Amino acid sequence: MAILRAGRAAIDELHRRLAERGHPDMRPVHGYAFQIIGADGATATELGRRLGVTKQAASQMVDELVRLGYVQRGADPADGRRRIVTLTPRGVDSLRVSAAIFDELLAEWRAAGADVDAAVDALDRLGALYGAGELRPIW
């Protein structure tokens, strides 16, 4: 249970700080979606498949993220039938701010006397033991 509590506390603190730094509408699932979209973009179908949700649910999330200014839809230059979702400058900024906050959280953990590197190594081994695959939200 400690792993789950710690993970939840870290995500909650990340989002509290994101809100303070101009991203109050970000939810944990958005970060997973942004990692999938990455620099090259992704379709709603790809998002749905990798997030473990239907294409319709992924499309609704994309609609919300477009409304919030984090992503945009555009034609795929390689296939005009496909619509590619890409990050806007606001979406890229949210990733930059999130990375900075994660660094802060790790520094705070180290300052509290925690052996962060040993903990991360142990968690990596635990993930490998159970065949950890692609990072995605737990619905």
- pLDDT confidence of residue 17: 98
- In the predicted model, what is the mean pLDDT of the chain? 90
Q: What is the pTM of this model?
A: 0.85
Separation between Cα atoms, residue 61 and residue 41, nearest integer Å: 15
User: How does pLDDT run across 107-117, given as a tens digit for each residue?
Assistant: 999 998 878 88
For residue 26, what pLDDT is reported? Answer: 94
Q: Where are the domains of the chain?
A: 2-129
pLDDT at 23: 97
Residues 6+ apart with CB under 8 A from 45: 55, 58
**What is the radius of gyration, based on Cα positions, of the chain?**
17
2-129 placed in CATH 3.20.20.10: no
Lowest mean pLDDT among 42-46, 52-56, 89-93, 120-124: 120-124
